[in-house]
Amino acid sequence: MDISVSGNTVTLTGNIKSIQDYQKIKETIDKIVTTEKRIILNMTDSISIISSVIGYLNKLVLKDNIDLSINVGDAQLMELFEDLNLISLFHVKKA
C-alpha cells in the first residue's frame, strides 16, 4: 500500500491489509488533523480494509469531530462499507 498526501486529501493505492498499513495511515492522518478538520480519503483500488483502520476512522469522526469523506474505487469495498452501515457516517461515495 502506498500513501500520498495533498493538503487535506489522502490517497491510498494498493490493498489495505496489514498492521503496518494501519500504522502508516494513522501516522499520516494524525499529522493532517493537527491543522485540518476535514479529511478526504481516496481508496482507489483496495478491495478490503482491516478493522483497525475502521476503528481509527470511527474515532476520528465520533470522538475527534473530524469531517471525513471517503471515495472508494472498488465495488467490493463499497459493498463492505454498506454492509457495515458506514456509508453515512464516513460520507462514502463511489469514485
Pair 81, 90: CB distance under 8 Å: yes
CATH homologous superfamily of 2-94: STAS domain (3.30.750.24)
pLDDT, tens digit (0-9, with 9 covering 90-100), for 40-90: 999 999 999 999 999 999 999 999 999 999 999 999 999 999 999 999 999
Q: Which three cell numbers stand for residue 45?
A: 483500488
Q: pTM of the predicted model, to two decimals? A: 0.94
Alpha helices (H) along the chain: 19-32, 51-62, 75-83, 87-90
pLDDT, tens digit (0-9, with 9 covering 90-100), for 22-44: 999 999 999 999 999 999 999 99
Largest CA distance in the chain: 32
Domain residue spans of the chain = 2-94
